[in-house]
Structure 1
């Protein structure tokens, strides 16, 4: 139960990450890079240091050829074993694009039609609205436009099966009719994976390995944590403990959720995947199918990585005169790919976040180029964003703007830039409050995520204890004071999150500060103690 709660909150609201050290391992190149590799290496190491990332796998494809693959830092802070181009990383939701590709293989074999209702392939499939049940198609699954809201039970409870997920869809709230609204949900991908299994009579894992991974030469990529642990060269997941620094943590195990996030691969192998997606690798599907996957199907302003559209919008609202122009614009969603514009160029990208690991693949299809960034640090979204856009800039032959400076300027308005983050960590380690400073926050609050109330109590006169829950799973979290109404969580499932007690007209609200804005956790009517 504890693990379920910890993973649920980390998965939904990832924010800060783990520490550094860099080493470089050579890799045989198929093409000469057009950029200064020494300068790129220096940049990556500096950004790793700034964002507390222990290890990175990086791959660059230019004009359809692999031009650069490097490992930086360590795959395990306890052993200091170096990351190499062949180090395996869990790539999380980047896996979804493999599931979309698997579906397109079946489309080209006339076994699946994108615009045929899901019920044609899964007769038991139902949504909470009868009309939506009839009209939801495979296309809607692949573009997250079924109308289903996000639920993650299968991600955190290995006893949940795909059949359970399909059954639960019948009672899950809908935010719109199929095709109307983008709402990112693993449920859509689990159902898509079940269609693949139903049509082929094979497991999603076997189908993906034999029809995609092996033809692309991704021979050491794995499809489960059990397989991954049998590998010798593996990046361990890391989280940042507020008091003790970087710590390794457990891998997130996928079961029913596998089509949405189970693949583990190296930077070298993902470079081959990028070449294929650009139309320069093994011809698994037609160019028309690649273009269909990479085409925006629906507006998706909330899908862009934290630090771009969402963070900038809040920053503009707070201090419009201080916020630089947006780096990424025109966010849409294709078939398990995000589609956006950067410096006038179309980017096709997808990230993945699992416990202690973060990944991204970005394609520049108009120039047949791309970049892979893999990190063994939890919630390293801004690090990933900085590196992927910097490399995209190099691939476009542009020397400006300063991507990192712009992201920091946007985040500074929100108090979530690196300087603010590190100041919070230092305050948490050194600040010694008086008990009287903490007493006003103690009390009983109505939880917004759990039927049981949230309790806040003073412990030892120096810290608070937050007892809350999520979807009926209870947990206790220690809060270290940062001064005033701000605290930082030092224990799972919220390690590293800043918690605020906000006074408003409706009473006092407990909020989590994230890159997507304040997330209300609980509220107490009135202001009595």
Structure 2
């Protein structure tokens, strides 16, 4: 009886165990079905549609979620007509996304006691000056990174873009001649030149050039083995994306002379790093994990991580149209090499980058441990935004939105605006007017305090303008109206033809020359409008 009772009980227990296992399996299956997939369904098809709609030849994407790389992949081609595919190792300039590396380098040096964020810059660079003695004395290491010095937007970029003969130190020294147009720490005005100064600070306190410090202290520990720390190395790479530029109607062409006019190593601290999806995934992993590298060794401490992402300088609110309404942001500010804001109830840490024919974006959502990088070989920020926002919808679990349609409308509005502005600039002209002076009277050397010399000479009956430190700035002056000419650069891919207007004294001698880009498509770094050219020897 006891034996039979034991057998019956055992049978019942075995059946119960089987039933429990089946129920558990069903529950786990249901959980697996409910668990979010690592990537949005149909992502590849979505990206291919973005390439087509925005006329982007190729791009690469890195997605990091909860510490894991869930995507590092290329789409499209490196160069139109080449048939060479973009993959996760294809190199793209990340341009101003390099600024976060410069800020991180300063954070590492601060942790080592080599500097403090509130140190005056002149404590480390005694030769450095701004045009205002007070600002020179008070400008700190942190101020170099947050665009609040009082300089005009993109001030002094002609010292480095396109390629010039100036060294990084020479550019930093010339900043003293740039006027301050805002009160110190009162406004946001994006600049590149002070990041070059930050590079000089890194050299002064570490004993290493910016490039060597970035490679040795950041790229190597993070495992970014394919990332280039010198822009000059980019041209030598086999697996590299090519530059593609749009015209005023959005038609795309290859910028064949990219390396002649793009940039040189002098600008590396502001925008010289070249990377790919695989390596940018590693960079985001370290940033999202408060400085911890894959080896477990910290690149920097959580305290520095928090500081890098802490807003310092408030930024203007952007006017976001209804067709991309969910992209509206609030509490915009510039941190240390990053922009930070709130979007759809969550904090966003981001930055963009642009160089002729390339745009990129790094966007991180710390509260959900998500990082997204998109690198492209065309100048459509709307293309990368359509991808990033689509991914953000999925991970934030917000309602789907037609970002492709919204950003396509944004793109169309941009080119329509450009076309209208071009027509306005060129549409009002007195074609019967003539220059007040004989052409030879416009010849001579003209000098700007921060750039240097620009010469105008006669050849075969034409006026020719030449910038002494920028080889690609050489071209013919065509009379437009009155005392205004247009300089047409011989190097047609520069995309920077400019009005050149002469001011005369009551005696009919040239007193000054001002310049202004003709097209709204002209890159903002071609800051001709900031030049204040005076004749060296008056006629």
- TM normalised by structure 2 equals 0.70
Cα distance in 1 for partners of 2:351, 2:90 equals 20
The answer for the alignment partner of 1:216 in structure 2 is 222
What is the CA–CA distance in structure 1 between the aligned matches of 2:528 and 2:39, rounded to whole Å?
46
Q: For structure 1, which runs of at least 5 residues remain unmatched after alignment?
A: 1-30, 303-308, 316-320, 429-436, 453-466, 479-488, 500-508, 523-529
Q: 2:445 aligns to what?
A: none
1:369: which partner in 2?
370
Q: Is 1:109 the counterpart of 2:124 in the alignment?
A: no
Q: Look at both structures and tell me which one has the larger radius of gyration over its CA atoms.
A: 2
CA contact (8 A) 1:205 1:223 kept: yes
Please name the residue that 1:354 is paired with: 355
* 193-202 or 242-251, larger mean C-alpha shift: 242-251
Give yes or no for the alignment of 1:298 onto 2:313: yes
Q: Partners of 2:316 and 2:429 in 1: how far apart? A: 41
Instruction: Tell me how large the CA RMSD over aligned residues is.
Output: 4.1
Question: 1:247 maps to what in 2?
Answer: 254
What is the aligned partner in structure 2 of residue 305 from structure 1? none
Relative contact order: is structure 1 or structure 2 higher (C-alpha 8 Å, sep ≥ 6)? 1
Q: How far off its partner does 1:129 sit?
A: 1.0
Q: 1:51 to 1:211 in 2, by over 3 A?
A: same
1:47 aligns with 2:62: no
1:122 corresponding residue in structure 2: 125
Question: What does residue 202 of structure 1 align with?
Answer: 208
**SS at 2:177's partner residue?**
coil
- Aligned partner (choices 178, 188, 197) of residue 191 of structure 1: 197
Which of 143, 151, 154 is matched with 2:156 structurally?
151
How does 1:50-65 map onto structure 2 within 5 Å? 50-65=53-68
Deviation at 1:411, TM superposition (A): 5.8
How far apart, in 2, do the equivalents of 1:322 and 1:216 lie?
39
Task: Please state how far the C-alpha of 1:322 moved relative to its aligned partner.
Answer: 8.4
Deviation at 1:353, TM superposition (A): 0.8
Q: Distance in 1 between matches of 2:306 and 2:83?
A: 42
Contact 2:54–2:408 under 8 Å retained in 1: no
> Quick one: distance in 2 between partners of 1:221 and 1:103?
20
Query: Secondary structure of the residue that 1:233 maps to in structure 2?
Result: coil
Instruction: Call closer, same or farther: CA 1:191–1:322 in 2, change over 3 Å.
Output: closer
How far 1:91 moved relative to its partner?
A: 0.7
State the 1:197 CA deviation.
0.4
Q: Please tell me whether residue 492 in structure 1 is matched to residue 493 in structure 2.
A: yes
Please state if 1:79 is matched with 2:82: yes
Map residues 237-276 of structure 1 onto 2, 5 A cutoff: 237-240=243-246, 245-249=252-256, 250-251=258-259, 252-276=262-286
1:336: which partner in 2?
337
Does the aligned pair in 2 maintain the 1:386–1:404 contact within 8 Å? yes
DSSP 3-state at the match of 2:265: coil
Cα distance between partner residues in 1 of 2:183 and 2:83: 51
Identify the residue that residue 137 of structure 2 maps to in structure 1: 134
Distance (Å, rounded) in 2 between the aligned partners of 1:294 and 1:206: 25
Match of 1:289 among 299, 304, 328: 304
Q: Calculate the TM-score normalised by the size of structure 1.
A: 0.71
User: Residue in 2 aligned with 1:460?
Assistant: none
Q: For 1:470-481, what aligned pairs fall within 5 Å after superposition? A: 473=473, 475=475
Q: Secondary structure at the match of 1:144?
A: coil
Q: Secondary structure at the match of 1:257?
A: helix
- Distance in 2 (alpha carbons) for counterparts of 1:477 and 1:32: 62
Contact kept, 8 Å, 1:33 with 1:62, in 2: the verdict is no
Is the 2:495–2:522 Cα contact (8 Å) retained in structure 1? no
Q: Give the SS at the match of 1:331.
A: strand
Map of 2:397 onto structure 1 = 397
Gaps of 5+ in 2: 1-34, 437-447, 455-463, 479-488, 500-515, 530-539
Q: Provide the C-alpha distance between the structure 2 equivalents of 1:92 and 1:405, rounded to a whole number of angstroms.
A: 27
Is the alpha carbon distance of 1:329 and 1:441 closer, same or farther for their aligned partners in structure 2, counting shifts above 3 Å?
A: farther
Which residue among 414, 421, 425 is the counterpart of 1:416?
414
Question: Is the 1:51–1:383 Cα contact (8 Å) retained in structure 2?
Answer: yes
How far has the Cα of 1:247 moved from its partner? 1.9
Instruction: Select which of 34, 38, 41 maps to 1:34.
Output: 38
Name whichever structure is richer in helix by fraction: 2
Q: Decide whether the 8 Å contact of 1:511 with 1:521 is kept in 2.
A: no
**Which residue is 1:95 aligned to?**
98
Q: Name the CA distance, whole Å, in 2 between partners of 1:386 and 1:322.
A: 12
Greater mean deviation of Cα atoms: 122-131 or 222-231: 222-231
CA contact under 8 A between 1:186 and 1:260: conserved in structure 2? yes
Query: 1:77 offset after TM fit, Å?
Result: 1.7
Shift of 1:110: 1.0
Q: Distance in 1 between matches of 2:430 and 2:527?
A: 19
